[in-house]
Amino acid sequence: MADMALAAPIVVAATIVKATALKGETAVGVPAGRTRYLIEAHADALIAGRAELPETIRYLADLPIAKKTPKLKGQQVLLLAAPGSRPGEIRLIGPHAQLARTTADETRLRSILSAAVAPDAPPAVTGIGHAFHVAGSLPGEGETQIFLKTPDNRPISLSILRRPGETPRWAVALSELTDASAAPPAPDTLLWYRLACGLPRTLPGNATEGLQPADATIASEDYQTVLSGLGACRRGQVEEISTPTPAQSG
């Protein structure tokens, strides 16, 4: 949902008024297990973006087929879209960009959009810069720092602290310096999303160039500690609306 919300020029809450199944040339390229619909909907609210929408909007949607679902007519939906080429038309930004308008999903969507425009919103992560590890005075003690790349060169760094006999602790900092209050991001926040869905699965070899082999190995292990702490990105797990079978469509 965050991928789509951050990419969508407009986000609309709407109620479907009419859905017409398309066939032949108007449905070229529809993936297996889906039906293309021309949908007319009442624009209930513009949640995000700057656009002048009429009361009735039109768009195409390739929706998964299900045997037992309610009629499309009357369904409340969330649309992540861009303006279309004609007045009153919008274009969904992806195959999953029509969502059922549940209270939970609308709250989550609004939270993402609000966090993205906040003054302290974290930037996107585009890669790994340099990593280094400094051993401590005791065996098993040390600290790894990993600097991340961002589109506007704003600083983001990861720090992993090792103490003898303790589980490594890690934190993220959004400034040039890491302070004592730095901590891992809370799950399902925008910062968590930027890291969990933006970091590569392994520490690139060029990030540890110039380090001793033993230090490079520890830095790579500490990076995996961060990934494990973040958990999976969970891309693709959105609840999109399903379509009725042709006999049920409305």
3-class DSSP assignment, residue 96: coil
Q: Are 146 and 157 in contact (CB under 8 A)?
A: yes
pLDDT of res. 231: 95
Residue 245 has pLDDT above 70, yes or no: no
pLDDT of res. 164: 92
For residue 61, give the amino acid letter: A
Element (H, E) at 36: strand 34-48
Report which of residues 70 and 225 the model is more confident about: 225
Residue 25 has pLDDT above 60, yes or no: yes
> What are the tens digits of pLDDT across the range 53-84?
899 999 999 988 877 655 899 999 999 999 99
For the chain, what is the mean pLDDT?
90
Q: Which of 16, 12, 13, 15 is nearest to 249 (CA)?
A: 16
Residue 180 has pLDDT above 80, yes or no: no
pLDDT of res. 9: 96
**Domain range summary for the chain, segments of one domain joined by +:** 2-116, 127-230
**Paired tokens of 51:** 């656009």
Q: Are 182 and 173 in contact (CB under 8 A)?
A: yes
pLDDT of res. 236: 65
**Paired tokens of 136:** 């401590």
What would the DSSP string read from start to end of 164-220?
TTS--EEEEESSSS--TT-BPPPTTSHHHHHHHTTS-SS--GGGGTTS-HHHHHHHH
pLDDT of res. 121: 94
How confident is the model over 112-123, as a mean pLDDT? 94
> What are the tens digits of pLDDT across the range 27-51?
888 988 899 999 999 999 999 998 8
Tell me the pTM.
0.83
Strands 98-100 and 90-92: unpaired
Distance CA 96, CA 241 (A): 9
Range 2-116: architecture per CATH: Beta Barrel (2.40)
Q: Phi/psi of residue 125, each to 5°?
A: -100, 120
In angstroms, how far apart are the furthest CA atoms of the chain?
A: 74
Taking residue 224's Cβ as centre, other Cβ atoms within 10 Å add up to 14
* Contacts of 124 by beta carbon, 8 Å cutoff, 6+ apart: 150, 151, 194, 198
How confident is the model over 173-179, as a mean pLDDT? 78
pLDDT of res. 250: 43
> What are the tens digits of pLDDT across the range 129-167?
999 999 988 988 999 999 999 999 999 999 999 999 899
Taking residue 147's Cβ as centre, other Cβ atoms within 10 Å add up to 16
Residue 238 has pLDDT above 70, yes or no: no
Phi-psi region of 103 (alpha: psi -120 to 50; beta: other; left: phi over 0): alpha
